[in-house]
Amino acid sequence: MLELVQVHGYSGTGLNNVIAHSGAPKGSLYFHFPQGKEQLGEQAVVLAGTQFEDMIRGALGSAGPGESAGEIVESVTASLAQLLEGSDFRVGCPVSVVTLEMGAESERLRSACEQAYESWIVPVTEFLMARGHGASVARATASAVVSLVEGAMIVSRARRDVQPLRDAAVTLRTLLDLPADRTSAEA
């Protein structure tokens, strides 16, 4: 379902498409997901959230001692740009797709999307705090990082051009490579 949502959106992905794509018998789909498409969509969002969280944690964890936060963000956005270009801009972030399509329609899906975004904000917050930023500034900055990258992916897909992601990386590098404010350490 995750792959189909990335390409066709949540609304454009029917259970028959999922069954055909997976090759699984119809009965096993309903056995594992007795609550139907909404439950399957929720699990797809959870999976996507975990995959992106792992990518973020991996990038942050492999950072060298002299590597700046901005350099790390540039690396992550370059990977996302490759994903977009490699799919001819057909594949994007499934969490944003589900949020935009179903966030006002399904509390279950909205909550899953919120939790996915939170799982991306937390490691960035922790990283910034380890680099000397106070908790509240680190949290606000991490939220802005996730928001800017997600928005840049959406605009990149609309334009069929990764320049918005590159622009976001430049902006984030400027922001993230500022020295930690001493007053923010007290927050």
Domain ranges of the chain: 43-186
Instruction: Return all residues near 168 (Cβ < 8 A) that are at least 6 apart.
Output: 77, 148, 149, 151, 152
Long-range contacts of 36-41 (CB under 8 A, 24+ apart): 37/13, 38/106, 38/108, 38/109, 39/108, 40/1, 40/15, 41/1, 41/5, 41/10, 41/98, 41/102, 41/106, 41/109, 41/112
pLDDT of amino acid 181:
58
Question: What does the alpha-carbon distance between residue 68 and residue 75 come to, in Å, rounded to a whole number?
Answer: 11
pLDDT of amino acid 185:
43
Task: Give residue-wise pLDDT tens across range 113-166.
Answer: 999 999 999 999 999 999 889 999 999 999 999 999 999 999 999 999 999 999
Question: Which pTM value belongs to this model?
Answer: 0.85
For the chain, list residues with pLDDT below 50: 182-187
Type of residue at 1: M
The two tokens of residue 5 are 């949502």
Question: What does the alpha-carbon distance between residue 123 and residue 50 come to, in Å, rounded to a whole number?
Answer: 12
**Among the four given CATH numbers 1.10.357.10, 3.40.1010.20, 2.60.40.10, 3.40.640.10, the one describing domain 43-186:** 1.10.357.10
pLDDT of amino acid 186:
44
Instruction: Return all residues near 57 (Cβ < 8 A) that are at least 6 apart.
Output: 123
8 A C-beta contact, residue 155 and residue 80 = no
